[in-house]
Amino acid sequence: MPEPAERKPSFIVRWGTLIFGDIRSYIVTAILGAIGLYFWPDEVPGSTYSIPVNVHGYALPLPGLLRNATREDPAMSYRTDPEDLAQTLVCEATTITGKNAHQLLMQYVDLYKDCFSLDEKSKTEIAIRPNTQSGVMRHDARGWFCKCSSAN
C-alpha cells in the first residue's frame, strides 16, 4: 500500500505563521524599548569642576571658569567689573557640576551669590560684579575676598 503523501501547509498558512512570529517579535521589542525609556536617566551627567583650597585656605577659581567658558563659546563675552574681581580669593573648597563651561560658571556665581552678582548685558555679554550688600565680600589693598574671615 502506498504511503500517503505528506500534506504541505497552504501558502496562506505558511505566511500567516511567519507574520505572526514577526508581530510577536515587534511587540516584545516595543515592550522592552518602553521599559528602557522609562528607566533612562533624566539628567545627562556633565562636567565637574573642583575648587580646592591651597595650604593657606584660599582658592582662585574664577579665572579658570571664565577662560573655559570663553574657549567653549567665543561668541559670548564674559568679563568682571572691576577687572581685578577675577582674582577674587574664595576661602572654601567645593565642587560644581554642569552640562558645559557656561553652566559651570553660572553654577559658581549662583553658589557664591553672596559674593557675586550677574549682569546680563545682552544674550552674548555677561558681566560679573561684586555683591557688596551681603557683607560676605571684602575688598582691601590685598584684593577681593569671598567668604574669608578677616583673620585670613
134 closest CA partner among 109, 120, 116: 116
Q: 70 near 128, Cβ under 8 Å?
A: no
> In Å, how far are 26, 36, 45, 48, 105 from 40, measured between CA atoms?
21, 6, 12, 21, 27
Nearest to 136 by CA among 119, 106, 112: 112
Grid coordinates of 152? 585670613
- For domain 47-146, is the CATH number 3.40.720? no
3-state DSSP call for residue 123? Answer: coil
On whether the CB atoms of residues 64 and 88 are closer than 8 A, the answer is no
Say how far apart CA 112 and CA 78 lie, in whole Å.
17
Q: pTM for this structure?
A: 0.67
What residue has cell string 554642569? Answer: 98
User: Going residue by residue through the chain (152 aa), what tens digit of pLDDT does each one get?
Assistant: 566 667 777 777 777 676 666 777 778 888 888 888 888 776 656 778 888 888 888 999 999 999 999 999 999 999 998 999 999 999 888 899 888 899 999 999 999 999 999 888 888 899 999 988 888 888 888 899 998 876 65
